[in-house]
Amino acid sequence: MKTAKRAVAVLLCIACLLSCTCFAGTAQTAEDTVTGFTQDDFLSTKGQKIVNRKGEEVVLKGVNLGAWMIWEDWLCPYGPYEEKLDHYTVLTELEDRFGRDKAYELFNTYMDNWITEYDLDEIKSLGFNAVRVPFWYRNFYYDDKGTKILDENGEWDFSRLEWVVSECAERELYVILDMHGAVGYQSDAPHNGKGYSCGLYEDTEQGERYRELTDELWTEIATRFKDEPAVAMYDLLNEPMCDVEAGEIERRINNEFIYTRLYDTVRSVDENHIITMEAIWTAIALPHAFMKGWENVVYQVHFYNNSNFIFNVFAFFTKVIFFDVPMMMGEFFPHGDTTWENCFNTMESLNYSWFLWTYKASSHGMWESDWCLRGAKDGFARVNIYTDTYEEILLKWGECLRTDVGFTDSGHYDRNVKAHL
């Protein structure tokens, strides 16, 4: 009897050991299947292609996170709308009314709610593989004199960019870091933060100070993200010289000057990431990369015209002219006779990476607009920057700005985009 009991005990021990081994094996397997980017996913250019370190071609198909870190009045819930307020004006008014710290509390509350983990999950689930993140210098400086925004440890605060890159890395979404508004501003368009303020190119002591601070900002960004495979590329300047009354020769000279400087700035600390330069409206706005000695670069165009023919010619000849670099459509929208189907088919045939403008918007009618994938529900609350109290603004820029609370599917994805992912 004792022998039988001993045998049973031995068998139970063996069963227990086998069970533990099985569970350990399961745990190891789960760990092995955790998603996220590795160094093999680091992107670079090869001829007219973007490839990862395994040699696989990667065509980026993504959305812009517009109206998040830098604002445009037609996308954002503030007003009075008829005044066409740029971000600089809004921020200045809030600072004048409530003081700098409270103004930035409101700014941060807005950003905390406009894009959350929910949005990145949505973007991934829809089949996109990348996001382009527009930002401006006032996310990092309190002013254009170089007063840095510091975190609780007294360090220069880049937590917003670090958060989005980290979250996207976990979801295997590439990130393009887009300087939408440089110190001093690179165009006269209000979408770079402040309208009619193109001071970045000025041949003055002040212009040089703007360039020094923009150098400083790109140096810090490139230093922080130089080993991060989720960062697809650095977008040095959004739409330089946009809306500036200048001839194409002047535009070309200014762009070549500032891009040469910023390319060298980034390369001094990061030799590995792709750098993208924007030609936006015409191909001749940029020099050939090989003539400048620029390596590992992508050239970028934006399109907001009204003809399929013009789109096709524009995309084709830009691709031909810049024969030594990959091409990317960083923003586009088919006005007038241009169709989504034509845009997508043309870009696919020419091997363009592309990014929709934009993911989310809150102006009237955006709940059914092709401008965005998610639009604010009818009846959304717009902040009046002149008359609303601090508490009222805090409420209107609170949880109601979260996509899963105050926004709806515009139908744009199903109508136009889904078939091309």
pLDDT in tens, 207-237: 999 999 999 999 999 999 999 999 999 999 9
pLDDT confidence bin for 135, thresholds 50/70/90? very high
Q: Which domains does the chain have, with CATH numbers?
A: 54-420 (3.20.20.80)
Could you please report the per-residue DSSP string of 237-276? -SSTTTT----HHHHHHHHHHHHHHHHHHHHTT-SSSEEE
Rounded-to-integer distance, Cα 213 and Cα 144, Å: 8
Among 31-35, 117-121, 389-393, the minimum mean pLDDT is found in: 31-35
pLDDT confidence bin for 248, thresholds 50/70/90? confident
List 299's β-bridge partners, or say none: 277, 327
pLDDT confidence bin for 278, thresholds 50/70/90? very high
- Residue 46 tokens, joined: 């090869």
Name every residue whose Cβ is closer than 8 Å to that of residue 394 and which is 6 or more positions away in sequence. Answer: 105, 106, 109
Q: Is the pLDDT of residue 10 over 60?
A: no
Question: Pick from 378, 383, 353: which is nearest to 367 by CA?
Answer: 378
- Residue 198 tokens, joined: 């193109």
Q: Is 50 left (phi over 0), alpha (psi -120 to 50) or beta?
A: beta
Whats the size of the chain, residue-wise? 421
Q: Hey, how many other C-beta atoms are within 10 angstroms of the C-beta on 17?
A: 10
Which of 6-10, 283-287, 416-420 has the largest mean confidence? 416-420
- Residue 382 tokens, joined: 């717009």
Q: What is the pLDDT of residue 32?
A: 40
Q: Is the pLDDT of residue 20 over 60?
A: no
pLDDT confidence bin for 292, thresholds 50/70/90? very high
Q: Is the pLDDT of residue 59 over 90?
A: yes
14 or 289, higher pLDDT: 289
Q: Is the pLDDT of residue 26 over 70?
A: no
Q: Where are the beta strands (DSSP E) in 14-106?
A: 44-46, 49-51, 61-64, 78-79
Mean pLDDT score across all residues of the chain: 92
Q: Is 166 left (phi over 0), alpha (psi -120 to 50) or beta?
A: alpha
Rounded-to-integer distance, Cα 133 and Cα 180, Å: 9
Rounded-to-integer distance, Cα 114 and Cα 95, Å: 21
List 64's β-bridge partners, or say none: 132
414 or 247, higher pLDDT: 414
pLDDT in tens, 321-342: 999 999 999 999 999 999 999 9
18 or 257, higher pLDDT: 257
Rounded-to-integer distance, Cα 93 and Cα 387, Å: 11
* Beta strands at 130-136 and 61-64: parallel, antiparallel or unpaired: parallel
Q: Which amino acid is at 155?
A: E
